[in-house]
């Protein structure tokens, strides 16, 4: 029977989804090394690709000590295949590889350890690519430990900008070039991504709802970060649901292990949408809850299934 000991997860979030061959090659690189062998004791659990966002999320799991190699391999393939010059999509991005968080899954894995692995990933990629640039966040950003949200704001993520020579310098590598852009790499408690679609194309309506559910707003929902984005002719309230601050694996009253559950988020968005005269189309999880991720990691590793995502339905939105 496999154990949960030392398990962690990393997401390789790339600025590509419209070419399935690119997503497939990056995913394959997370499973098979350049010498043709499977990375040991690791697995890709899920692949989520969104056409309108032109963005894919690849979930890689394994013991923390084994996690770095498949993540570096996947990022390397993505950096070889994706040219940010040619990227179009409604989701803000700064890099061809846009985001690489490392999350602890087991109780015996600490955030500082995840931060060490995240920083090592960044520096290995900089060794592979002389023009690779990254900023660090969370437990990898020492000593400040600035959040991903704060660091994205500093580097102009919301405006699609890149730092200039007169602006902030990346933590790893030179000033970013326009081919690879800038990658965010760091470590934090597990984050669940949840999107609620409302039946309108009016961005201002979506922005008001996104602002209202945001934790930083008066009356907002705990642990929710949100923004409104166009998707398939409607507006999507794209949200990050942050993990519970204390031992989130033991909070039985919150099945999703997050401060605000997807069900509560959807109910609040529905209430706000009704006040705007629009309805909610549905709510979708981007990937896995922490408990799902942990349970599937145990299963995939115990059964020696490095490409577990093939046993699941690949989600294309």
91-120 residue pLDDT tens: 999 999 999 999 999 999 999 999 999 999
Structure confidence at residue 256 (pLDDT): 56
169-223 residue pLDDT tens: 899 999 999 899 999 999 999 999 999 999 999 999 999 999 999 999 999 999 9
pLDDT-derived band of residue 156, with 50, 70 and 90 as boundaries?
confident
Structure confidence at residue 119 (pLDDT): 98
Structure confidence at residue 162 (pLDDT): 55
Structure confidence at residue 166 (pLDDT): 46
Whether 230 shows a pLDDT value over 50: the answer reads yes
Torsion of CA 110, 112, 117, 120, to 10 degrees: -170
Structure confidence at residue 252 (pLDDT): 42
- The more confident residue out of 192 and 316 is 192
pTM of this prediction?
A: 0.91
Residue range of the domain that includes 58: 7-189+290-316
Structure confidence at residue 314 (pLDDT): 46
Across 48-62, 148-162, 292-306, least confident range: 148-162
Residues 164 and 211 in one domain: no
Q: How many Cβ atoms are within 10 Å of 239's Cβ, its own excluded?
A: 28
For 78, the token pair is: 């993505």
Residues 166 and 227 in one domain: no
Q: How far apart are CA 193 and CA 204, in angstroms?
A: 22
Nearest Cα to 257, choosing from 217, 285, 216, 219?
A: 285
Residues 50 and 167 in one domain: yes
Structure confidence at residue 3 (pLDDT): 61
140-152 residue pLDDT tens: 999 999 999 999 9
pLDDT-derived band of residue 157, with 50, 70 and 90 as boundaries?
confident
Structure confidence at residue 313 (pLDDT): 56
Residues 195 and 227 in one domain: yes
Nearest Cα to 95, choosing from 162, 22, 26, 30?
A: 162
Q: How far apart are CA 283 and CA 267, in angstroms?
A: 10
Residues 301 and 225 in one domain: no
Contact call for residues 58 and 27 (beta carbons, < 8 A)? yes
Q: How far apart are CA 296 and CA 282, in angstroms?
A: 25
SS3 for the chain is CCCCCCEEEEEEEECCCCCHHHHHHHHHHCCECCCCCECCCCEEEEEEEECCCCEEEEEEEEEHHHHHHHHHHHHHHHHHHCCHHHCCCCCCCCECEEEEEEEECCCCCCHHHHHHHHHHHHHHHHHHCCCCCEEEEECCCCCCCCCHHHHHHHCCHHHCCCCCCCCCCCCECCCCCCCCECEEEEECCCEEEEEEEECCCCHHHHHHHHHHHCCCCCCCCCCEEEEEEEECCEEEEEEEEEECCCCHHHCCCCCCCECCCHHHHHHHHHHHHHHCCCCEEEEEEECCCHHHHHHHHHHHHHCCCCCHHHHCCCEEC
Q: How far apart are CA 9 and CA 7, in angstroms?
A: 7
Residues 229 and 185 in one domain: no
- Considering just the CA atoms, what is the radius of gyration of the chain in Å? 19
Residues 148 and 200 in one domain: no
Nearest Cα to 73, choosing from 50, 48, 97?
A: 97
Structure confidence at residue 317 (pLDDT): 38
Across 2-11, 50-59, 68-77, 159-168, least confident range: 159-168
The CATH number that applies at residue 237 is 3.30.70.670
Residues 145 and 196 in one domain: no
Q: What average pLDDT does range 14-29 have in this prediction?
A: 97
Supply the mean pLDDT for the chain: 90
pLDDT-derived band of residue 248, with 50, 70 and 90 as boundaries?
very low
**Residue 37 counted as domain residue:** yes
Residues 54 and 195 in one domain: no
Whether 316 shows a pLDDT value over 50: the answer reads no
Residues 142 and 157 in one domain: yes
Residues 27 and 168 in one domain: yes
pLDDT-derived band of residue 159, with 50, 70 and 90 as boundaries?
low
The CATH number that applies at residue 53 is 3.30.990.10
Across 31-40, 160-169, 252-261, least confident range: 160-169
Residues 179 and 32 in one domain: yes
**Residue 2 counted as domain residue:** no
Q: How many domains would you assign to the chain?
A: 2
**Residue 1 counted as domain residue:** no
Q: How far apart are CA 5 and CA 237, in angstroms?
A: 35
Q: How far apart are CA 227 and CA 28, in angstroms?
A: 31
Q: What average pLDDT does range 37-52 have in this prediction?
A: 96
Q: How many Cβ atoms are within 10 Å of 146's Cβ, its own excluded?
A: 16
Residue with tokens 């349970």: 295
Structure confidence at residue 40 (pLDDT): 95
């Amino acid at each position: 029977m496999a154990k949960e000991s030392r398990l962690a997860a990393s997401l390789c979030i790339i600025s590509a989804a419209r070419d399935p061959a690119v997503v497939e090659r990056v995913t394959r690189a997370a499973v098979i090394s350049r010498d043709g062998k499977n990375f040991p004791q690791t697995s890709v659990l899920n692949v989520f690709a969104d056409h309108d966002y032109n963005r894919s999320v690849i979930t890689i799991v394994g013991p923390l000590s084994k996690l770095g190699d498949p993540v570096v391999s996947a990022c390397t393939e993505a950096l070889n295949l994706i040219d940010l010059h040619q990227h179009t999509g409604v989701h803000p991005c700064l890099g061809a590889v846009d985001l690489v968080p490392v999350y602890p899954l087991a109780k015996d894995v600490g955030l500082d350890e995840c931060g060490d692995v995240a920083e090592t990933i960044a520096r290995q990629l900089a060794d592979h690519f002389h023009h690779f640039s990254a900023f660090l966040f969370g437990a990898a950003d020492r000593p400040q430990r600035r959040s991903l949200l704060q660091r994205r704001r500093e580097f102009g993520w919301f405006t699609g900008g890149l730092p200039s020579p007169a602006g902030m310098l990346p933590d790893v590598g030179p000033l970013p070039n326009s081919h690879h852009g800038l990658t965010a790499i760091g470590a934090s408690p597990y984050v669940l991504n949840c999107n609620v679609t409302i039946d309108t194309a009016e961005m201002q309506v979506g922005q008001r709802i996104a602002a209202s559910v945001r934790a930083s707003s008066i009356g907002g929902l705990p642990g929710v970060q949100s923004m409104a984005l166009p998707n398939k002719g409607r507006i999507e309230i794209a949200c990050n649901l942050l993990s519970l601050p204390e031992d989130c694996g033991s909070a039985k009253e919150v099945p999703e292990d997050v401060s605000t559950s997807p069900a509560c988020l959807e109910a609040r968005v529905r209430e706000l949408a009704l006040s705007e005269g629009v309805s909610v189309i549905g709510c979708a999880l981007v990937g896995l809850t922490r408990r799902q991720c942990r349970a599937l990691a145990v299963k995939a590793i115990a059964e020696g299934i490095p490409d577990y995502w093939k046993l699941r339905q690949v989600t294309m939105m």
